[in-house]
Structure 1
């Protein structure tokens, strides 16, 4: 990615402009025109769509979106401005994982009591290239029918583009399939996490100690996941994705958490799977979310598959077979666990009611479970918060 963010500004350009100042160039040579937002420059990535109607800041700072250009299906994005509280990136050393943002309507002036700056200026400060003015419904339909395309998003205020070069970049980019993107977003050092969930009128607090010690393996962990672990009574130590089993067990954890993250799980699994297998052999209580769910499945010998359009949104219905309830959940993933490849000691616990894909597993012979969706609800409904309590209950049983 190359961006110009030397002079971040909250100034919003006037609309409409005389000529396109941003392009989305697909790998097949299709060129879509719009108006530029945020950072200037160009970036290559995989184009997906997200159906959430709130939480654009949380979405664009979710490390799981590394390598992707997010198209928002909701037409009005940015109208409540931006702040520094609704950021999900837990690793301050990591840059913006997302490669770009596509919205339909021009950004209006912010109208929200929590806003501290204009969304356009926030994009620019974080180095995120934006584009508005596209028919996002048509782009969403294209992704739905043909899959997530590789593309270059480019923003030049003077409307000057080398279109042929951009076409070549989009066509040459190999895509996320086969990429390990965890190193671009995960922490390289271990640290303690003390943050607590946000409270109205108070903001974020700090915990003063919990009953259980949990090591969270960071594949690109979201901040609100860590906050909900502390709320469930955990003292959390965040460990790098490349940590060895001995380094993790040296912390004497009551449980291990496998985090969300970006990229092809099979590639990350080359170094993560042996560690997870060693932890499972010790019967360490284990809980995984998103990429962590896929890592657990791979450690059991199952396989993952690339999805055509992925699941990205805050309105996905998932059935929990343990309770019989249907939950509405947040999702963000482009790969899925193939349930037909799960071993006999793993049973399916959750399933998508949109397409029947696997959304959760648990082991029958060891204390471990995982889900594909995002129970931390950032953004999204809180139907699945109970899963953090389920993890705490598992650790309590292991103490007996």
Structure 2
């Protein structure tokens, strides 16, 4: 529920309301003004219970008063009288459509009175325009929960992404996003298995899942099966090439370059394949070919920090430290968590005698290297536990 602080952010009454005398008789206008003055007095005195009757009197006399309708709706909302708040909040947004906080409260009130569809519509309209972070988060969270309850996982995931963009380290939202994306993945997998169990895409999906669980042999077999079914399957050569490139078996690693070349033939704008071809060329000391491929990759994706790092490594080998430094500094800005980039940048600074900068990069390297090592241990332990659980299950007699 929005905090009390939000109340004063959405109150609309001004210190000196302006009214059109020509629209109401003078004595009626005087009565309205008197009620408004009392309402403002009570609000300033933190007595919303006394302000509510005054605002009710105003809207009874002048239903087209957007300020009074909005304020009355807000006060009733924060008294948990959602059913009572809805008509006044709705009237305010009808009279003044750009009252985004009021429309956000209207959506919340509608959800809490089980008018789910209308509540979603009002929150959808208001959410992109909300600027107060705390209220935006609460409105977005309510919309996300509503989507989840109605099974609109795609819409829920969109809201989760928007909330994480403004608060990337919110652990509750990170877990919610993880849960949503896992559910979406499971839903897509089940639908694929039911509708196209023998398709190339199903084998590609199985390959990705198997690779994620470190079953590389089965993953490679499924990628190859997918290619037999559809040689033009989007992205498959790059996915298979990456798996082969990272294999512990030399004969499999040797096959990776062919897959990346096939990917480029299918799609010259495959940035990942271009980058991987550059990395392979650099490994065998062909820095010109590496520079060409990695430069193309960076042109395709100018903010790819991995491409910047790899191209910087090639530039260092070509004795172009200044250009390499520019790329590494930009890469650190884009992805400060990549410890390899910090290490490489520290080496360049040290070579230039910039020891203060070098020491700062070494500290960053140690910090993010430690974080990465801990994260890898967590994932390793999770995989071991999962494999043990599966082994135990297989031992259970049927």
The TM-score range, normalised by the shorter chain, is under 0.3
Query: Which structure has the greater CA radius of gyration?
Result: 2
Q: TM-score scaled to structure 2, two decimals?
A: 0.20
Higher helix share: 2
